[in-house]
Amino acid sequence: GAGVSQSPRYKVAKRGQDVALRCDPISGHVSLFWYQQALGQGPEFLTYFQNEAQLDKSGLPSDRFFAERPEGSVSTLKIQRTQQEDSAVYLCASSSVARTDTQYFGPGTRLTVL
């Protein structure tokens, strides 16, 4: 079956603009994660959904970051008033309902803020 997909793959934004990044998880996967990967670093956790419920948003760096998954499938990560430090690759992962099951990652969205 299809893997995790993300769009757009690349996004260039001017400082101060709002952006929306989309994630389509593997069909039937209950859990969905967002991670941020800065250049040369490992991914860092942002937020976690179980179905439509956002159970953990402890990794969101500021209140400019907002994520939603209204129907328990597709998720959107929104960044308001983008700053240069928001430039990174944003990765989405999904996994089945099993506790600590393997997370499968999408190709990521590379965000560049000018």
Partner 1 sequence: AQKVTQAQTEISVVEKEDVTLDCVYETRDTTYYLFWYKQPPSGELVFLIRRNSFDEQNEISGRYSWNFQKSTSSFNFTITASQVVDSAVYFCALSEAGNFGNEKLTFGTGTRLTIIP
Binding site for partner 1 (CB under 8 A): 30-31, 33, 35, 40-45, 48, 50, 55-56, 59, 89, 91, 93, 95, 97-108, 110
Longest CA–CA separation in the chain, Å: 41
Q: How far is the CB of 56 from partner 1 (least distance, A)?
A: 6
40 versus 70: smaller Cβ distance to partner 1: 40
79 versus 88: smaller Cβ distance to partner 1: 88
